[in-house]
Structure 1
Amino acid sequence: MLIRAGLPKKIGLTSCWYPEFRVKVPKIEGTGFTEKRVYFLIEDHTRYVNFLIEVKSAKQRINDEARFQLYDKYLYRSKIRFGILIDPFLIEIYEYGQPKPKAKLEIENPTNIEPIATFMIKFLDTVKMRTIAIHTSKGGVGKTTLVVNMAYELAKQGNRVLVVDLDDQANASLSLGVNKADEIDKASSLEEVEQILASFEERQELIEFLEDCGEKDFDYRKYIYPSSFNKHLKEGTDGSIDILPSSYKTQPYPLEELPSGERRLNKGLQKLKGEYDYCVIDTPPTYNRITWNGIFAAQYIVIPSQMEYLSAYGIRNPIRKTRVVREESEDTRATILGIVPMMTDNTKINKTILELVKKTFHNIPIFSDVKRTTNMREASHQRIPLSLLAEHKPQAGDAAKQMANLTQKIVERINSLESDKGI
């Protein structure tokens, strides 16, 4: 997907760093583009992958000088992670700072585009990351329960999952085992609890990630931690869960002091492409800069809601707010996958509200409901996914299965949308 053409000159840099891929573009009203040959950058916002392109000719083929220019200069100055060198007989893909190609293809027949397209598609599949925000404007509807269980089910399928906790209540961080929940539970005095909380002051987490992600030497690994659930995943699987945690430090942070404050998370996640298959974002139920970061960073939105009057009424707000982001991003962000009825039961009020939701939001898919059960409460109390609870308590099997099925339906919905778009 071509998002931007005609790169402006950078202050203090000569034009020699620009990629040599050129194309004629017609004049576009309001943009200032004219019909001429321009340099350009390809940004694929649906996959979190951007490329700088440099095209060589049959007479001036790819050589070591061109390789050095691409990975050491062009990528460095443009802050783009991947670059492509191409001539009629060879394609090489480089990653910033890496002298060896990430992937390459020798072109046997320059007139046959199919092998080249297949090569690019396979490469894109190795680096794309799907970002899903679990978002609602009503608290207490099971949002974090959905985040934790989805992350675990995705990891069970062999996916590398990153959970981003944007909520200062840090329930996802606690549930995933990185906020010392067990230590807090075992603390015998207020002083011990205060000492544990004080240890978060020195920890690099969400706020530091947002502050530092624009730095040239930014290393995301300093801010991300493995979940304690990883030890329960089957040996030999590639599946894992990491978390960018939150804590009480998140609540008072003045993001407006940072450039592009509501897009800092999106900027940081650009540095992680290729490291994870899915990013699941737990957003706060209130609207502030932190919440907007989650929405702007998310390709997809899932709205959980209990089938009660106040919760169902709260569905309107995220639908309205995400529409703004879709318009600003030209439909590359905040696509609503659907609504998840949470903690449902067989009461008349639940059934009535569910029918009302289906009628009111008839153009938005309604996923299968997550039923209110004692096993759901027990798993939440133990801060473990339902699948883990079911391993030692067979009675929880049905509840675990409904969460696994829901996760699969969400993945299928994404696959369908991306197939329709040709992604």
Structure 2
Amino acid sequence: MKRLSTHTSPEVIDRDRRWLLSAAVWSTVGIGAAASLLPSQLMAAPSADVIRPFRINIPEEQLIDLRKRILAARWPDQETVNDRSQGVQLAKFQETMRYWATDYDWRKLEARLNALPQFITEIDGVDIHFIHARSRHEDALPLIVTHGWPGSIVEQLKIIDPLTNPTAHGGKASDAFHLVIPSMPGYGFSGKPKGTGWNPDRIARAWAELMKRLGYSSYVAQGGDWGSPVSSAMARQASAGLLGIHINLPATVPPEVAMALAGGGPAPAALSEKERAAFDALDTFFRKYRAYGAIMGTRPQTIGYALADSPVGLAAWIYDYNNGEPERLLGRDDVLDDITLYWLTNTATSAARLYWETAGQSVVLSAAQKTADISLPVAITVFPGEVYRAPETWARRAYRNLIYFNEVDKGGHFAAWEQPELFAAELRAAFKSLRPAR
């Protein structure tokens, strides 16, 4: 393997990084991956829109370097309080970092991902990485699912079998989905945009092109966190073939509530009990827990130097997202799988730029997401551990074609990751009326 010169350009380094991560040759692709493409795609002539198979193979030297960096970390002094009000607590975090350096096994996730049909295709000048898991039920409904930040395709791994193989999970063959799970531009194994403009609207257009390229003439879309505005943009653009969307962090906050939140309160008069609870949750979130969004929305490059250089710094930045206790709903390896993916692909900075592209705009504001312009069917599931519990009254104001609304009793912000069976059941119910009649 050739060594990169110290004078190698960033573009060449990025190209070689992707080459190291991918064995993009047909001879390495298993039957399962090949089966996820249509015959016409397998025979496609080489061109910018060709769909190429993808396989992960992280060099061992990168994993050794990661462990060395963790063990060599310089630690801050301990917090001066007995709670998480100052951020990630030192003692607990040090134990997690020790585990990451000595016991965590990246190769397990690598093998898990390589067992799935993965592909790369260039759209609008950027390589898009995606999982394409087709159901054995040919009448399955195609579904594209979008992750958020600080998530990745790791969020969706647990829902693949329940959605593509519903008969093994309490569902019927008629509940099946063909799944497309892309990494957003700048995230994971997708390419990093070299210019500006990659906001949710542009990602939405890329997803529409991806579904067209895969040969799907009709399909549905789902998203939480950033996946919500991306899916909503697809619906607003009425992407060709899109039947409807499901979102689990909806943009339901009315303008008058948004103004009160921006001004620091008080809450508008005449709010119902559920609406007041939603206001209070959002007020707490914006005042105490959204500093990460303000920083990445204004200075993604500045914070990027720390995140690209220190795995411990990167881990703390991501770890603190769920109020410093992500392991409350996820296993330790789940969290480290996601963090390690960011580290090995060096995408903390490129991922953060999505906030800059939207000027740090919140994904929950109905006016910001132009929900009034969406005419396609919208389905919403409210999970109790979400940033806020969207009231149905707000949801019906925001989305004029709301076909499904349900509040469940388990799950939080990373619902597909935390409660995969419940999440899958919600998607089956939400999209039932949009399936073609048989």
What TM-score do you get using the length of structure 1 for normalisation?
A: 0.31
Greater helix share, 1 or 2? 2
Larger radius of gyration: 1
Greater strand share, 1 or 2? 1
What TM-score do you get using the length of structure 2 for normalisation?
A: 0.30
